[in-house]
Amino acid sequence: MKIVAFSDWRVQNIEHFIEYLKGLKAKPDVIVYAGDDLERFNNVPYMAIPKILRNRYREELIKIQEPFGKFDKNIVEDIILRNDIEYKMDENKFEKVASFSRYGLLVVAGNDDHYYRKKAISGEKVVDIHDNYVIIDDYAIIGIEGSTDNLSPLYHTEKEIKDHLETKIKQIGDRQLIIVSHSPPFKILDFSIRYSQGHIGSNALRDFIQKNSNRVRLVISGHSHLQGGKSKEFKNTYVVNCSSHDNYGEPGKIAIIDISDDNVDISWKTLYELSTIPLIGDKTYEKLGEHGILQVEQLAA
């Protein structure tokens, strides 16, 4: 099975990625996006947002208020009025990316994706792999969204992740497992220095891999930008962090993974931004684009 994976594309040019996919000699079996900034790829249906927000905040406020007294529904309406509504996009880029795969684009929401943005994971051959699973030959692909950081817009406790994985493994039979998780396993390609130095991965995911090392062939993750572009073998499992940095001009990192019964081969593709080259300003960038030159590699072609 051939997999093309990327994650955390906050500033990278999505059209460059699509051009890269167009240039592949053969379609990968699946393309994986491991989360964050879903709104860059597709809009959330306008009419769905108030209801989604209401239900989500109602759940959270009930949890907070239940021990202290009666839940005030009016608070929810006040919160809705103060939330920004996502802008409308004319194109579903998730769907466009999915069209360059054989079986589809598998997506998990990241920790920076508000709950209602999950509605952006839609379109032909586009799958929310946290809420669903995909079977391809002898492999089952499952997903874990968000992170365990309770300060993030989308998070799950370690117990919730543990329960989620146990539920999924009961549904897929004895197949080999591929896990798409926004957060890496704890202490495996998860070291971060964004707000403070430390490991930001999931203990529940690491424990699951240890207990099922004979079945979990591959984990595809993002979240820790510092570890993007790296892979590591843990027990019998290959862990790949395919995230990209979010500073202006940072290149996009893409993992190309070939998985077979007896081997997992991982290689990398880096898409550099033309705007990072000295003397290429806005006007030159625009002119190059008119001639179909979108990537650094094309300058040398």
Which pLDDT tens digit goes with each residue over 227-285? 999 999 999 999 999 999 988 788 999 999 999 988 999 999 999 876 556 555 556 65
Distance in angstroms (rounded) separating the CA atoms of residues 123 and 104: 10
Q: Please report the pLDDT score of residue 241 as a whole number.
A: 98
Domain architecture of the chain: domains with CATH: 2-46+86-299 (3.60.21.10)
Contacts of 221 (CB under 8 A, 6+ apart): 7, 34, 180, 181, 182, 183, 184, 185, 189, 190, 201, 239, 240, 241, 242, 243
**Per-residue pLDDT reduced to its tens digit, 59-89:** 665 555 555 555 555 555 444 444 444 445 5
CB 65 within 8 A of CB 76: no
Q: Please report the pLDDT score of residue 57 as a whole number.
A: 59
The pTM (predicted TM-score) of the whole model is: 0.81
Q: Between these two residues, 102 and 65, which has the higher pLDDT value?
A: 102
The SS3 of residue 253 is strand
Q: Please report the pLDDT score of residue 70 as a whole number.
A: 57
Distance in angstroms (rounded) separating the CA atoms of residues 66 and 59: 11
If pLDDT is split at 50, 70 and 90, which confidence band does 208 have? Answer: very high
**Per-residue pLDDT reduced to its tens digit, 182-193:** 999 999 999 888
- The upper half-sphere exposure of residue 261, i.e. CA atoms within 13 Å in the direction of its Cβ, equals 2
Nearest to 237 by CA among 251, 220, 225, 249: 220
Nearest to 285 by CA among 24, 16, 22, 8: 16
Distance in angstroms (rounded) separating the CA atoms of residues 13 and 9: 8
Distance in angstroms (rounded) separating the CA atoms of residues 298 and 256: 20
CB 296 within 8 A of CB 277: yes
SS3 content of the chain, % helix, strand, coil (to 5): 30, 25, 45
Q: Please report the pLDDT score of residue 300 as a whole number.
A: 54
- Give the helix/strand (H/E) hosting 217: strand 216-221
Name residue 255's beta-bridge partners.
5, 268
Nearest to 141 by CA among 183, 101, 104, 188: 104
Q: Please report the pLDDT score of residue 21 as a whole number.
A: 98
